[in-house]
A and B are shown apart, each in its own frame.
Chain A
Amino acid sequence: MPIDWIMGLAGGVLIGLAAALFLLVNGRIMGASGIIGDLVDGSGRHDWLERAALIAGLVLVPGIAAFATGGSETNLTGNWAVIIASGLLVGVGTRLANGCTSGHGVCGISRLSLRGIVATAFYIGAGGLTIVIFRHVLGVI
């Protein structure tokens, strides 16, 4: 639906502007898995307040905006086994690969980083294959 594409583009520009601000002012890469993951394993302890502040904005503002505009839906599956398996894979995978959609995808590809491009090719490829198997073959998701 074209309106979804326009909203996608507009939202994407906001994401890119946020990443640009983080880079040009704080000199940091806006990667969601790294920002939270370095807190989990303790390697980001020295700048925990900056990480916590970013996460606070990331939770609060869309939460308030969604509430103010009549709510929003994630349409997340109700299958808890799928949710848990998915979360574990995302957690382990992004830490092994050192990045996710924001770090490797947005920040990596935009500087033509080989690692970012390869990572994105693999997670989109693996994601596409997973949809084929679990949706079209097994009918689980």
Chain B
Amino acid sequence: MRVLISFLVGSVFGLGLLVSGMTDTTKVQGWLDVFGNWDPTLAFVMMGAIIPMAIAWLFSVGRKPVLANAFPARPEPSVGRNLVLGSTLFGMGWALSGLCPGPAIASLGFGGVGGLLFLGAMLAGMVVAPGVRLRLDRVAAAV
């Protein structure tokens, strides 16, 4: 049942990305292009997504998930080096192509060779990430 729900979640997520236009890299780059031809669409997408999710979080208080024992614990509100550096690197990559992980996967069916190339590079980046994290820790410990 959890597997079926997961498939349904991926399906609705993907449909939402397609409908919202977030699989179109020009819209994403347009959102980031504040000093050029700015496109505010992404703000509407975020607003539309955050509202149902905020209601879901509120609803989850004092309850249990239908098919799990507990809701994910709230992470420590710590803003560390990895969060800041990682988000900065991610933002740079996001801007260069206009793709982030969700839309990159959702557009595989029509994204052509370029989309596959991006996915391959992204997966390679994910493979080396633990090593990068370890090296950063070592550098930080030595300083």
Residues in chain B near residue A15, CB distance under 8 A: 12-13, 16-17, 20, 45, 48-49
A102, B106: Cα distance in complex, Å: 13
Distance, CA A40 to CA B3, complexed state (A): 19
Candidates A7, A10, A18, A67; contact of B109 at CB < 8 Å: A67
Inter-chain contact A94/B101, CB cutoff 8 Å: yes
B19-39 vs A, Cβ < 8 Å mask (1 yes, 0 no): 111111111010011111001
State whether A95 and B126 are in contact (beta carbons under 8 Å apart), knowing that A18-B9, A32-B100, A76-B25 are contacts in the complex: yes
Q: Considering the complex, which residues of chain A in the window 25-59 have a beta carbon less than 8 Å from any beta carbon of chain B?
A: 25-30, 32-33, 36-37, 40-41, 49-51, 53-59
Q: Measured between alpha carbons, how far is A24 from B8 in the docked complex, in Å? A: 13
Which residues from B are CB-within-8-Å of A120?
A: 87
Taking a contact as CB atoms under 8 Å apart, the answer to whether B15 and A13 are in contact is: no
How many A residues face the partner with a CB closer than 8 A?
Answer: 107
- Taking a contact as CB atoms under 8 Å apart, the answer to whether A72 and B110 are in contact is yes
Nearest CB on B from A42, distance (A)? 10
- Measured in the bound complex, the distance between the Cα atoms of B114 and A10 in whole Å is 27
Enumerate chain B residues within 8 angstroms of A9, measured Cβ to Cβ.
Answer: 20, 44-45, 47-48
Residue of A26, A27, A93, A111 most packed against chain B (CB within 10 A): A93
B143 interface contact, C-beta 8 A: no
Q: Which residues of B contact A128 (CB under 8 A)?
A: 32-34, 95
**How many Å lie between the Cα of A106 and that of B21 in the bound state?**
16
Given contacts A53-B6, A111-B54, A118-B79, contact A88 B122 (CB under 8 A): yes
* A18–B36 CB distance below 8 A: no
Q: A80-B117, A87-B124 are in contact. List 15 more A-B contacts (CB 8 A).
A: A7-B41, A12-B48, A22-B5, A53-B10, A57-B9, A62-B14, A64-B109, A75-B98, A77-B25, A77-B114, A84-B117, A86-B97, A89-B94, A92-B125, A95-B86
